[in-house]
Structure 1
Amino acid sequence: MESRVTEVAPDTYQLSSFVGAPVGFNQYLVAAEEPLLFHTGMRATFGAVSAGVGSVLPVESLRWVSFGHVEADESGSLNEWLAVAPHATPVQGQIGCMVSVEDLADRAPRPLAHGETLDIGGHVVQWFDTPHVPHAWEAGVLYDVTAKTLFCGDLFTRFGEFEATSDDDIVGPAVEAEDMAPGGLSLHPASGRIIRELAELDVQTLALMHGPAFSGDCRAALLALADDVDARIARLSN
């Protein structure tokens, strides 16, 4: 298995793996002065993903390893990355570090508060707590303020293979995926509001975990996804 490597935003590389599952898996590498990897991939895909990272920069030069929530595809190979990158530090939200990462990781994490920024040399990234959006208490997203890229994890999940980049509709496939496999999105009264708050960011690229890097109208896509979430909640309430 190989990991497809594509530059999808300035200094930002998407590493895509298709492993026979109904969805593909993306990791994102920000090739800053202090390189950052968002999503670790599963342990089974570590060899392919690390080879992909190695095609861009020395794997041992990684400085930060981040992810939206604790799940096999997002954080499963965290310790494998820490082993090959001796100066790498896990970075996640305060809740995630407290409830999971401090215990799971072989190296102490760097917790980030909601809205806190981290200068990684040439790029500044900002953490936003999104509890239970798309799922998990510790869920969050990472926003590259410099490149205007939102690493939005499982939002806009679609089934099937996908191109590295696209400006086509990402809302329709995400709605279809949720209809086919309901329960992927956590539906609670704040879900729509949290997604709408992300829409207020100046986003030029939505870096999806299970889909292309989207370069269309990111604000409109986030607002449309929030509308769909609210509609689902309303149907549950009736």
Structure 2
Amino acid sequence: MDARIDEIADGIFRLSVRVDAIAPPAGFTFNHFLVLGDNPLLFHTGLRGMFPILREAVGRLIPPERLRWISFGHYEADECGAMNEWLAVAPRAEVAHGQTGCMVSLNDMADRAPRILQDGEVIDLGKGRRLRYIDTPHIPHGWDAGVLYEEASGTLLCGDLFTQLGDGPALTRSDIVGPAIAAEDLFRFSSLNPGMGRTIRGLAGIAPRTLALMHGPSFEGDCAAALQALANDYDARVSSMLAAA
């Protein structure tokens, strides 16, 4: 097992690890994103067992000790399992996450106190790189959920949104909505709630140019339309669930 490295937007690198044992024969990818700048940021730390693989991959791009920020979509093993391992190798690094995530998990679980991000707050990485934090509670799951938007490249770091099976290219212009619907049908991983469509349409309103998926290929193209279509599917699921109640 090793990490495939691809630049999916200017200065944003996707570090992808495929695990064949999950959902065979298609397999499943775990993707982590390094955003370069004077103060680099790693989005998704990876599972603790993947730390040696990801440390080696990051080391091909920058010295790991240069990491300044560590962030992720929500508190879950594949998103932040190796958080403290990264804090140990990067002495200047801080975990950055929303208020709920820090309050319920990170203030206790992180070996150094995290930076609490307010909805809409920006982390400036230098060299024109600015990451805006957006609260997305319960979307797709976890009341602490949030995403990051890199303003210069127009890249939305989506976390578990658009999760899909298989591997494929690092960056695609093909449909990502259909595969995401199929994965939802299989895993039932989302916390269905009446606010899902509205929140996802809010992300569509940003009009990102690239969607960086944690599980599946990153997407370039009409990102707003993809987000609108995903929102429509979740609205239909919620309506069906309420009608059956």
Fold match (TM-score > 0.5):
yes
* Map of 2:159 onto structure 1: 153
Q: Per-residue CA shift, 1:48-95, capped at 9, x if unaligned?
A: 111111000100000000001000100000000000101100000111
* Unpaired stretches in structure 2, ≥5 consecutive residues: none
Aligned pairs (5 A) from 1:25-104: 25-104=30-109
The residue that corresponds to 2:140 in the other structure is: 134
Which residue identity lines up with residue 121 of structure 2 in the other structure? E
Stretches of structure 1 lacking an aligned partner (at least 5 in a row) = none
Question: Superposition pairs for residues 168-183 of structure 1, below 5 Å?
Answer: 168-182=174-188
| Alignment match, 1:14 | 14
Distance 1:144 1:131 in 2: 20
- Cα distance in 2 for partners of 1:159, 1:150 equals 20
Amino acid at match of 1:36: L
Indicate the residue corresponding to 1:190 in structure 2.
195
Coordinate RMSD, CA, aligned: 0.8
The 2-side partners of 1:159 and 1:12 are apart by: 22
Matches of 1:133 and 1:3 in 2, distance apart?
27
How far apart in 2 are the matches of 1:180 and 1:110? 36
How high is the sequence identity, in percent, across the aligned residues? 53
Cα shift at 1:145: 0.9
- 1:100 to partner: Cα distance: 0.6
- Between the two proteins, the alignment pairs up a number of residues equal to 237
Give distance in 2, aligned partners of 1:25 and 1:216.
Answer: 22
Deviation at 1:202, TM superposition (A): 2.9
Does residue 120 of structure 1 match 2:142?
no
Please give the secondary structure, in 2, of the residue aligned with 1:189.
coil
Residue identity in the other structure for 1:126: R
Residues 167 and 217 of structure 2 are in contact (CA less than 8 Å); yes or no, is this contact kept in structure 1? no
In structure 2, how many angstroms separate the alpha carbons of the residues matched to 1:35 and 1:181?
A: 33
TM-score (norm 1): 0.98
TM-score, normalised to structure 2's length? 0.95
One-letter amino acid matched to 2:201: R
1:221 pairs with 226, 232, 235, which one? 226
Q: In the alignment, is residue 163 of structure 1 matched against residue 169 of structure 2?
A: yes
